[in-house]
Amino acid sequence: MTELQGKVALVTGGSRGAGRGIALELARAGAYVYFTGRNAGSMQEGGERTLAGVLGEIHSFGGEGSYIRCDHTNDAETEAVIRQIAAEQGKLDILVNNVWGGNNLPIENKPFWELPAAHWDHMFNAGVRAQLMTNYYAIPLMRSEGAGAGTGKLIIHTTFWDQYKYVGNFYYDLSKNALVRMAYGLSLELAADGIAVIPLSPGWMRTELVLESMKTDEEHWQEVEELQDSESTAYIGRAAVALAADPGVMQLTGRPQQVGSLAEKYGYTDTDGRRVPVFNIPE
């Protein structure tokens, strides 16, 4: 697959979960992928959950990329990531804002006044603000090659969105919708530059944490009834590839997109050949 040959991408929070899936799929499509995280590690220490592990996976299928250890709550480290990409590549075509610190506490469906206020720091400082500051440093580099509707530049915010339905946890709902609104505002400000900005919402993903909680793995998940409608992290990765390769992606800028709907639009499937439908919050 060479749809993205010659493109330079950055995926924040790329050592596991959606970030790992997106980094791998962008690399499979031919992009040179930088990805960040806090755990550099090695293939022997944590395997694919480490940055080194993900790079090993990319190299295993002939892809190209580099990892940069970064704590995105530290603005200086975030700035250093962009500075390194600028020095080594001179450009940035695809930015996937995926860093997220919101799972440090259980995400419970309780009234706001019964939830720990520490959710704010986890979801906003280590999530929303971390993505905002990555945009702050990355956008000047993305704009540096000049404006135009055909630039093919793309910013993705991974989030959760289902027609603005309330997700049940006040902080989670507020933070995820903040990312949707951030993308909308940036889509207006970057329209003249030809840079599309899209909030991208997956469904019920089989992340490492989900598989652990269900006491299974990616090879045996089909044995677990609760996971029958789930999707792999490669599914959102394939959505990101489809958006980045679409010459008409500016028609979608600023509008939340669901991975299942994009599968119908672009024709990709999950790793098991299914086209997993959109995940909907029950009424």
* Residues annotated as catalytic (active site), given as ranges: 172
- Please choose, from the candidates 175, 108, 112, 156, the residue with its C-alpha nearest in 3D space to the C-alpha of residue 9: 156
- 271 contacts: CB under 8 Å, gap ≥ 6: 232, 234, 235
Q: Is the Cβ–Cβ distance between 11 and 98 less than 8 Å?
A: yes
CB atoms within 10 A of CB 267: 10
Q: Is the Cβ–Cβ distance between 46 and 39 less than 8 Å?
A: yes
- Please choose, from the candidates 32, 39, 84, the residue with its C-alpha nearest in 3D space to the C-alpha of residue 58: 32
Residue 102 tokens, joined: 């919101």
DSSP 8-class letter at 62: T
DSSP 8-class letter at 191: G
Residue 23 tokens, joined: 């980094």
- 259 contacts: CB under 8 Å, gap ≥ 6: 200, 201, 202, 203, 231, 235, 236, 239, 276, 278
Q: How much of the chain is in helix, strand and coil states, percent to nearest 5?
A: 45, 15, 40
User: What's at 155, amino acid-wise?
Assistant: I
